[in-house]
Amino acid sequence: MNFFDIAGILVALAAAFAFINHKLLKLPTTVGLMLLAMLHAITLLLIDRFVPGSVVLTSAETLIGSIDFDQTLMQGMLGYLLFAGALHVNLNDLKQQTAVIALLATVGVLATTFIVGGLTWFITGWLGIEVRFIYCLIFGSIVAPTDPIAVLGIFKSLGAPKSLETKIAGESLFNDGVGVVVFIALLGIAGLGGHGESHADGNQQEETSRVVQQSEQEQPHEEVQAGGEVTETNASDVAKLFALEAGGGIALGFVLGVLAFLLLRSIDHYATEILISLAVVTGGYALAMKLHLSGPLAMVVAGLILGNHGRTLAMSDRTRQHLDTFWELVDELLNAVLFVLIGLEVLVLSFHEKYLLAGALAIPAALLARFLSVGTVVTVVKKVTGREFTPHAIKVMTWGGLRGGISVALALSLKEEIHAQQSQYDNVGELILTMTYVVVAFSILVGGLTIGPMLSRLGLTGQSKTDSH
């Protein structure tokens, strides 16, 4: 299938599912679209079970097989979605939560990676599935970051305390880019090369491999020992890679944002100004890929600058209205297609009983890791700063830390990389993809549908204008 065939089918499915959801189910849009897409895929699998060789299932599998989910999201949709989300985050609100957001997006991601990795090591061992510890850590990095695409869409209409919404939105915007960098670093340690943001970029793989090879020359080591110990040299190399990708991405985003701000301030023509914002995302993300920097972080920073300073100092009222309408439409359309794609990915899963059970057990593991990382950060910030937090903040942030398309994309890229290496651990790619999908499906369907009632039970609804901590 060519691009227009695929786009036509996906947009048509998204429109049909959105209509059904709006008229009948009346669920949050992202949740409803994903649920209907999953039910559609499961129906096709059941038809094939009773009518083997069904043309309908074959056509659906051809469609999914024609789509590189990793490329589509990581190098296509993600930059636009993150920029659109960052445009509507108030920078002053974000500054008030700087300490919490920064710690959750860095220390929180790393802590969750190791906690989930360690628990996954025990889960797979208990189930009799042979998995090296490094792959357990990679799985931890895949499910560690919360997904802003899922979180922001659901939290818009909850009426939660403003500071709580800012923490979740800010953390999810930044820990996405951090999580991808950690994923790339762990792939390098595992000797698999770097995918993540630049899945098709051979130069990125060479850079990651060079870092690892340099480490091996300085101190030979196993990739990660069974006990999970990482050598000091490896930790140093990972820190270098993290600083280069994350720090460089933030710097690039700042430069792009300031440049766009200056251009917008010099004119008053909404069509041209929208085109400039589109160029920042399209050209800026491509530039970040070429420079081996974090494209997601660059888009978040650029979006924050244009959504705050650009909005108040460089745009007329007419431009603000048109620009907001344009990016809201882009956000809604891409979100719709993305969650339909996530639902249809059921067709590529391996329904191995042990893999599904491992995924089910990974759900409480991910929740526990999230609870410990959030609880530790919030407790430390409270003691150091003396600030009070919204009641039940830890509970809400734990349950509201949804996972989404980024986790699925990273799991698919890992599966493809392991398969390309013709590794004896080829089954690990299927295992991690299945586990990731189970965690993501639970997160969006169960978490997304229950976070509203949870806020109501805790008495935290309708406080968006009164809360400030």
User: Mind listing the pLDDT tens digit of every residue in the chain (469 residues)?
Assistant: 778 888 899 999 999 999 999 999 998 888 999 999 999 999 988 888 888 877 777 878 788 878 888 888 888 899 999 999 899 888 898 888 899 999 999 999 999 999 999 999 999 999 999 999 999 999 999 999 888 565 655 666 666 777 888 888 888 888 888 888 899 889 888 888 644 344 444 444 444 444 444 444 444 434 433 344 444 445 677 777 778 888 999 999 999 999 999 999 999 999 999 999 999 999 999 999 999 899 999 999 999 999 999 999 999 999 999 999 999 999 999 999 999 999 999 988 888 999 999 999 999 999 999 999 999 999 999 999 888 888 899 998 999 888 988 999 999 999 888 877 766 667 899 999 999 999 999 999 998 888 888 888 888 776 665 454 5
Report pLDDT for 469: 52
| Amino acid 240: pLDDT | 78
Q: At 117, phi and psi to the nearest 5?
A: -60, -45
Q: Which of 73, 247, 279 is nearest to 174 (CA)?
A: 247
Question: Cβ distance 389 to 464 under 8 Å?
Answer: no
Nearest to 403 by CA among 182, 170, 67, 142: 142
Question: Tokens representing 339?
Answer: 């969650």
Residue 405's nearest CA partner among 444, 369, 366, 435 is 444
> Could you tell me if 326 and 403 are in contact, meaning their C-beta atoms sit under 8 angstroms apart?
no
What confidence score (pLDDT) does residue 441 get?
95
Q: Is 388 helix (H, G, I), strand (E, B) or coil?
A: coil
Gap between the Cα atoms of 461 and 452, Å rounded: 8
Helix %, strand %, coil % of the chain (to 5): 80, 0, 20
What count of other Cβ atoms lies within 10 Å of the Cβ of residue 233?
A: 16
At 52 the pLDDT is 81
- What is the predicted pLDDT for the residue at 158? 65
User: Which helix or strand (DSSP H or E) is residue 263 part of?
Assistant: helix 248-265
Instruction: Kindly report the pTM of this predicted structure.
Output: 0.86
What does the alpha-carbon distance between residue 393 and residue 380 come to, in Å, rounded to a whole number?
A: 14
What do you get for the CA distance between the two ends of the chain, in Å? 51
DSSP 3-47: HHHHHHHHHHHHHHHHHHIIIII---HHHHHHHHHHHHHHHHHHH
**Residues 28, 22: Cα–Cα separation, whole Å:** 9
pLDDT recorded at residue 436: 96
What pLDDT score does 404 carry?
87
300: number of CA atoms within 13 Å, CB side? 23
Cβ(12)–Cβ(21) under 8 Å?
Answer: no
The pLDDT assigned to 193 comes to 62
